[in-house]
Chains A and B, each alone.
Chain A
Amino acid sequence: MGFESFGTVSFTAEARVADFITHLEAGKVMATRCKKCGISYFPPKADCPKCLSSDVEWFEVKGKGKLMTYTIVNYGPTGFENDAPYILALAEFDGIQIFGRLSRDIGEKDIQVGMSLTVSPVKLPDDRIAYEFKKG
Chain B
Amino acid sequence: MPERNVCIIGGGMSLWGVREASIIDMAQEAAKDCFDDVPALKKEDIDGLLFASSYCGRSAFQVNIAPVIAERIGIKPTSMCTRVDTLCAGGSAGIILATGLIKAGLADVMMVAGGEKLYTPQRWETYYSEMASIDHDWDGAQGMGLPPPFFSMTAQEHMKRYGTTKEQLSAVAVKNRRNGSTNPKGHFQKEVTLEEVMAARAVVPPLGLFDCTPITDGCAAVLLTYEEKAKELSDRPLVYIRGAAQATLHSMSMNWPGEHLADWVHLRTAAKRAYETARVGPGDIDVAQTHDCFTISEVIEMEDLGFCKKGEGGPFVESGQSDFGGKIPVNTDGGLLACGHPFGGTGIRQAREMLHQLQGRAIRQVEGAEIGLTHNLSGLNVEHTILIYGREP
Contacts and interface: CB of A to CB of B under 8 A. Distances in A.
Q: Do A and B bind each other?
A: yes
Contacts of A107: none
A83 B374 CA distance: 38
B5 interface: no
A95 interface: no
B130 to A, nearest CB: 5
A12 B137 contact: yes
Given A71-B152, A78-B128, A101 B143 contact: yes
A52 interface: no
Nearest to B155: A71
Contacts of B135: 43
B234 interface: no
A71 B150 contact: yes
Category for how many chain B residues contact A:
35 or more
A52 B186 CA distance: 47
A8 B143 contact: yes
B146 A77 contact: yes
A88 B144 contact: yes
Nearest to B149: A71
B142 A7 contact: yes
B162 interface: no
B143 A77 contact: yes
A23 B311 CA distance: 43
Contacts of A77: 127-128, 130-131, 140, 143, 145-146
Nearest to B145: A77
Nearest to B205: A72
A59 B252 CA distance: 22
B70 to A, nearest CB: 32
Contacts of A80: 143, 145
A48 B217 CA distance: 40
A100 B142 contact: yes
Interface string B145-162: 110011011001100100
Interface string A1-21: 001001111111001000000
Nearest to A72: B204
Contact of B141 (A8, A76, A97): A8
Contacts of A98: 254
B71 interface: no
B140 A9 contact: yes
Contacts of B132: 11
Given A11-B140, A43-B137, A97 B255 contact: yes
B79 interface: no
Contacts of A9: 131, 140-141
Contacts of B137: 3, 6, 10-12, 15, 43
A80 B205 CA distance: 19
A113 B157 CA distance: 10
A84 B203 CA distance: 13
Contacts of B261: 69
B256 to A, nearest CB: 7
Contacts of A72: 149, 204-205
B204 A74 contact: yes
A55 B138 CA distance: 22
A73 B140 CA distance: 13
Interface string B237-258: 0000000000000001111100
A99 B142 contact: yes
A83 B142 CA distance: 10
B128 A86 contact: no
A75 B145 CA distance: 10
Contacts of A69: 153, 156-157, 260-261
Cβ-closest 4 pairs across A and B: A7-B141, A77-B145, A78-B128, A99-B254
Interface of B: 124-125, 127-128, 130-132, 135-146, 149-150, 152-153, 156-157, 160, 202-205, 252-256, 260-261
Given A11-B131, A80-B145, A88-B144, 5 more contacts: A71-B204, A77-B145, A86-B143, A90-B256, A99-B144
